[in-house]
Amino acid sequence: MQRKLNTSGLKSLYLPSRIPGPDRLLVVLHGLGDSLEGFKFLPEVLQIPGLNYLLINAPDPYFTGYSWYEINAAMQVMESGVVRSRGLLFQLIKEIKHHGFPPEHVGVLGFSQGCLMALDLACRFPEKLGAFVGISGYASHLAEYPEKLSPAARSQTILVTHGTEDELLP
């Protein structure tokens, strides 16, 4: 069964677990120009018992997909877009509680631009979540840390990975 939700103004697709197990939720954030459609394969590939998926579209149209924030001609992150997307994602995660997923049962996975957003959430969200995973991305405005870290971030579980031959984000 698939169920579409409009949570915090972000289009999403909920994919329930097909394998019984402890009830957990993975929020998936795509990269620049992609959409939630690009991650519909995850449940079939991962096959983790009890893991439900909430695939999210970024708020801004970008060619045939979506974007979490703008990048200027000098390839610099436009912070205003990050701040706006952060607010939408904060609200989304707070709303997830009302769907039966306490924060400690929620993980966030981000790819590329979604990785930046996942890392931003990991550092700033006021509650500790189950885990954060960042794949093939980067962090922005590192000079702000550690002063901007939320108290929860100091004990947050975070995994960040990046390939050694990525030509787009070396």
Give per-residue pLDDT as tens, 132-149: 999 998 888 777 777 888
Beta strands in the chain (DSSP E): 3-7, 10-15, 24-29, 51-56, 60-62, 65-67, 106-111, 131-135, 158-161
pLDDT of 78 higher than 80: yes
Lowest mean per-residue pLDDT among 12-21, 57-66, 115-124, 140-149:
140-149
pLDDT of 2 higher than 60: no
Global model pTM greater than 0.75: yes
CA dist 133 and 110 (Å) reads 6
Q: All domains of the chain, ordered by start, with CATH? A: 3-161 (3.40.50.1820)
Task: Find the mean pLDDT for residues 75-80.
Answer: 79
Give per-residue pLDDT as tens, 31-48: 999 999 999 999 999 999
Give Cα separations from 151 to 48, 111, 127 (angstroms): 30, 25, 8
How much of the chain, in percent, has pLDDT values that exceed 90? 64
Question: What's the pLDDT at 97?
Answer: 86
